[in-house]
Amino acid sequence: MIRVGPAGSCGLGNLKGVSKCAEMDLDCMEVEFTYGVRMDLKTAKEVGILAGEKGILLSVHAPYYINLASEEKEKLAASKKRILDSCQRAHAMGARNVTFHAGFYQTRTAEQTYERIKKAMVGLQKQIARRKWQVKLCPEVTGKPSQFGSLAELLQLKKDTGCGITVDFSHLYARQQGDIDYARILKKLPKKFHAHFSGIEYGPKGERKHIRTTRKHIRTTKEFFEPLARELVKRNPDITIISESPKPYEDAVMMKRLIEEV
């Protein structure tokens, strides 16, 4: 099953956002804690109940300011707290997948960074298990080679810790400078995973920004998505795919239609 939905509620608030998903015949929605976890548990439960009634599957995006590779104790502790606060809300909402960008290499080698992040992930998973939260940590494929989170690193992390992954296909596109073979990528992926998609502008250093349609020489999200839609339909994985474009609802609808058409 391929479920499609928007990232966030476009300023409507999560309750109205869930209702809008249902009205637009979408399947899922990602609750965004981009700049901090400010939702109380009561609201989280209300959002979860409404999503259950409307048949909308929820996921959560933890805040951006996370670095699980940090050598500064306070920064590491704050990063872990942001993830755990997100997980607690996710559990209250009945959202399973919790997405985040795991960290940065900074002055460390890729191997050192990997080991630090792995250790932090194992610690987080222990805390999640102790609190009996039904959530899965899903670190995301990031859009810049200077940032931890290549597909290879995340697949290794999944193997070593049993975590989930968020495959942001537009980030992969930017990392590979637009040279992308979706069939080859999907072969490497598990049958079940969480995904992001949007149009993307990139440069030699990777991701610049998520886009819809911009200048004429840049392709539209529809053109970006069609090759992926074809491969997804062929393999029919069990995924949730979240539109992170500047018009997440409209583009999610477009993506869902394209999946039905191809």
Residues that bind Zn ion (CB under 5 A): 168, 196
Q: Sheet with 57-61: list strands edge to edge.
A: 28-32, 57-61, 97-100, 136-139
Identity of the residue, 14 or 99, whose beta carbon is nearer to Zn ion in the bound complex: 99
Report in angstroms how near the CB of residue 129 gets to Zn ion at its nearest.
Answer: 26
Helix (H, G, I), strand (E, B) or coil at 137: strand
Q: Which residue is nearest to Zn ion (CB)?
A: 196
Residue 196 CB, nearest approach to Zn ion (Å): 3
| Minimum separation from the CB atom of position 30 to Zn ion (A) | 9
Residue with tokens 């999946």: 259
Minimum Å gap between C-beta 50 and Zn ion is: 24
Minimum CB separation of residue 71 from Zn ion in Å reads: 26
Instruction: Please tell me the number of Cα atoms within 13 Å of 203 on its side-chain side.
Output: 4
Cβ closest to Zn ion, residue 50 vs residue 117: 117
89 versus 196: smaller Cβ distance to Zn ion: 196
Instruction: Pick between residue 66 and residue 92 the one whose CB is nearest to Zn ion.
Output: 66
Q: Of 96 and 196, which has the nearer Cβ to Zn ion?
A: 196
- Per-residue tokens: 20: 């809008």
Label each residue of 53-109 as H, E or C: HHCCEEEEECCCCCCCCCCCHHHHHHHHHHHHHHHHHHHHHCCCEEEECCCECCCCC
Least distance between Zn ion and beta carbon 193 (Å): 13
- Say how far apart CA 242 and CA 213 lie, in whole Å: 17
- Altogether, the residues listed in the chain come to a count of 262
189: number of Cβ within 10 Å: 17
| Closer to Zn ion by Cβ: residue 116 or 196 | 196
